[in-house]
Structure 1
Amino acid sequence: MSDNLNTNQNDNDLSIPIKAAADARDVVALVDLIDPLPRSEALRELLHLSVEDRVLVLSLVPAELAAQLVEEAPSETAADLVEGLTAIRAAEIMDELDSDVQADLIGDLDEDNAEAILSEMDVEDAADVRRLVTYDDDTAGGLMVAEAFSFSDTQTVGKVLRDLASDDDDFERYRGQHPYIVDEDGKPVGVVSLRGLLTSKRSDLLTSIMTPPLTVPVDMPLFNLEDLFDEHAFLGIPVVEADGKLVGVVSRAAVSAAALERSESESLKRQGVVGDELRSMPTWLRSRRRLAWLSANIVLNILAASVISAYEETLLAVIAIAVFLPMVSDMSGCSGNQAVGVTMRELSLGLVRPSDAFRVWLKEVSVGIINGIALGILIGIVAWIWKGSPALGLVIGLALALNTILAVSIGGVVPLLLKRVGQDPAVASGPLLTTITDMAGFFFVLSLAALMMPWLV
Structure 2
Amino acid sequence: MLLDSEALEARAAHLANLLTSGALEEAAREQDNVSPMRISQTLKEMHPEDVAEFVRLIGWVRGGNLVAYFPSEILAQFLKVLDAEEAATLSRHLPAARIADVLPSLSESLRSAVLERLPQEMRSSVERLEAYESDTAGAEMSPLFLSVRAGATISATQAAVQAMPPEHHRSAYVYVVDEHSRLKGVISLRELMLANPGDSVDRVMIPDIFAVRDDDSALEAAKRIRTRGLRMLPVVDANDRLVGVISIERAMDLLSSELAGSFLGIGGATEESFFTSPKRAVGMRLPWMAANVFLNLGAVWVITGFEATIEQVAILAAFLPMITDMGGNVGIQALSVSIRSMALGEARVRDVWRALRKELMIGMVNGLALGLLFGVIVMVMQQNLTLAVVASLALSANVVIAGAVGGTIPFLIKRLGYDPAMMTGPVLTTITDISGVTVYLGLSTVFLSALLIV
- The bucket for the TM-score relative to the shorter chain is 0.7 to 0.9
Give, in angstroms, the shift of residue 346 of structure 1: 4.3
Report the CA distance shift for 1:204/1:229 in structure 2 as closer, same or farther (over 3 A): same
Determine whether 1:371 maps to 2:367: no
What amino acid sits opposite 2:115 in the alignment? L
Report the CA distance shift for 1:429/1:89 in structure 2 as closer, same or farther (over 3 A): farther
1:249 aligned residue: 245
How big is each residue's C-alpha offset from its partner over 1:250-289, in whole Å with a ceiling of 9 and x where there is no partner? 22333234333433444455578766856xx6xx946974
2:100 aligned residue: 103
Determine whether 1:63 maps to 2:60: yes
What amino acid sits opposite 1:240 in the alignment? V
Worse-superposed segment, 297-306 or 334-343:
297-306
Structure 1: give runs of 5+ residues left out of the alignment. Answer: 1-5, 22-27
Structure 2: distance between partners of 1:389 and 1:346: 43
Report the CA distance shift for 1:400/1:307 in structure 2 as closer, same or farther (over 3 A): farther
Report the CA distance shift for 1:44/1:391 in structure 2 as closer, same or farther (over 3 A): same
Structure 2: distance between partners of 1:115 and 1:422: 40
- The alignment's TM-score, normalised by the length of structure 2, stands at 0.74
Structure 1: distance between partners of 2:405 and 2:435: 11
What amino acid sits opposite 2:73 in the alignment? E
Give, in angstroms, the shift of residue 246 of structure 1: 1.1
Structure 2: distance between partners of 1:212 and 1:236: 16
1:236 aligned residue: 232
Give, in angstroms, the shift of residue 88 of structure 1: 3.8
Report the CA distance shift for 1:267/1:253 in structure 2 as closer, same or farther (over 3 A): same
Structure 2: distance between partners of 1:182 and 1:239: 13
What amino acid sits opposite 1:153 in the alignment? A
Give, in angstroms, the shift of residue 182 of structure 1: 0.9
What amino acid sits opposite 1:101 in the alignment? R
1:25 aligned residue: none
- The alignment's TM-score, normalised by the length of structure 1, stands at 0.74
Give, in angstroms, the shift of residue 187 of structure 1: 1.2
Residues 153 and 207 in structure 1, CA contact (< 8 A), matched pair in contact too: yes
Q: CA RMSD in A?
A: 4.4
How big is each residue's C-alpha offset from its partner over 1:25-76, in whole Å with a ceiling of 9 and x where there is no partner? xxx6673365555546644554555454445555665223332342222232
SS in structure 1 at match of 2:244 = strand
Selected match of 1:188 from 147, 166, 183? 183
Report the CA distance shift for 1:136/1:404 in structure 2 as closer, same or farther (over 3 A): farther
SS in structure 2 at match of 1:146 = coil
Give, in angstroms, the shift of residue 448 of structure 1: 4.1
1:120 aligned residue: 117
Give, in angstroms, the shift of residue 415 of structure 1: 3.8
Report the CA distance shift for 1:445/1:223 in structure 2 as closer, same or farther (over 3 A): same
1:210 aligned residue: 205
Structure 2: distance between partners of 1:176 and 1:48: 30
Structure 2: distance between partners of 1:115 and 1:315: 69
Paired residues, what number? 432
Equivalences for 1:50-449 in 2 at 5 Å? Answer: 50-55=47-52, 57-58=54-55, 61-106=58-103, 109=106, 114-135=111-132, 140-166=137-163, 170-194=165-189, 197-198=192-193, 204-218=199-213, 219=216, 222=219, 225-232=222-229, 234-268=230-264, 270=266, 285=277, 289=281, 293=285, 297=289, 300=292, 303=296, 306=300, 310=304, 314-315=309-310, 317-348=312-343, 349=345, 351-353=347-349, 360=352, 364=356, 367-368=359-360, 371=363, 375=367, 378=372, 382=376, 385-386=379-380, 387-404=382-399, 406-408=401-403, 410-412=405-407, 414-415=409-410, 425-426=420-421, 429-449=424-444
Give, in angstroms, the shift of residue 127 of structure 1: 2.5
Give, in angstroms, the shift of residue 149 of structure 1: 0.6
Structure 2: give runs of 5+ residues left out of the alignment. Answer: 1-10
Structure 1: distance between partners of 2:191 and 2:443: 76
What amino acid sits opposite 2:186 in the alignment? V
SS in structure 2 at match of 1:14 = helix
- Percent identity of equivalent pairs: 27
Structure 2: distance between partners of 1:161 and 1:369: 57
Report the CA distance shift for 1:105/1:350 in structure 2 as closer, same or farther (over 3 A): farther
Residues 140 and 239 in structure 1, CA contact (< 8 A), matched pair in contact too: yes
Structure 1: distance between partners of 2:336 and 2:188: 42
Structure 1: distance between partners of 2:403 and 2:239: 45
How big is each residue's C-alpha offset from its partner over 1:87-128, in whole Å with a ceiling of 9 and x where there is no partner? 443333233233333333345557775455333322322332
